[in-house]
Amino acid sequence: MSVEFLHSMIRVSDLEKTIRFFTEGLGLKEIRRIDNSAGRFTLAFLASPEDLERAQFDENGTPLKAGVPMVELTYNWDPEEYSGGRNFGHLAYQVGNIYEVVEHLAEMGVTINRPPRDGHMAFVRSPDGISIELLQKGDALPPKEPWASAENIGSW
């Protein structure tokens, strides 16, 4: 089974102040920013200079290979109070075959909170309730049952 760490995500209430903390305070570099007006959020990805030295990126700032540990800052445009640890979002892993991984986890008794209906993304939770995002390496796989018609279960 192929699994590579991608990023950790935290929700932030002041994007520019948080970017300044990570860049000026800790020396990380902002490598990619995505503004999503439909979803009303902005994502900013940061990595250390040392990790970036080993990285290769496409023209959009997307790593060509996993292994570039990043922090994803998620800024929701509409004000939101984060409680109960909701400001920490998830860990993300890139997998060789998303269907094999979720089938394996389901066999272990893990609830698939957000099934990979699109052949690209799924969410599960660790035994301690940490949200884990699974992303298909490369292009999305063709939709496959039972996942294509599976409903979300709980939250992630």
User: Which neighbouring-strand residues pair with 73?
Assistant: 10, 44
Given a contact cutoff of 8 angstroms between Cβ atoms, the answer to whether 89 and 10 are in contact is yes
Say if residue 26's pLDDT is above 90: no
pLDDT attached to residue 1:
77
Catalytic residue among 16, 103, 133, 151: 133
Q: Is 107 a catalytic residue?
A: no
Q: Which residue has the higher pLDDT, 119 or 63?
A: 119
- Domains annotated for the chain, with CATH where assigned, are 8-76 (3.10.180.10), 96-156 (no CATH)
- Which 8-state DSSP code applies to residue 140? P
What's the pLDDT tens digit per position in 42-95? Answer: 999 988 887 888 777 677 766 666 568 888 999 999 988 877 676 787 878 888
- What values do phi and psi take at 67, rounded to 5? 100, 5
Query: How high is the mean pLDDT of the chain?
Result: 87
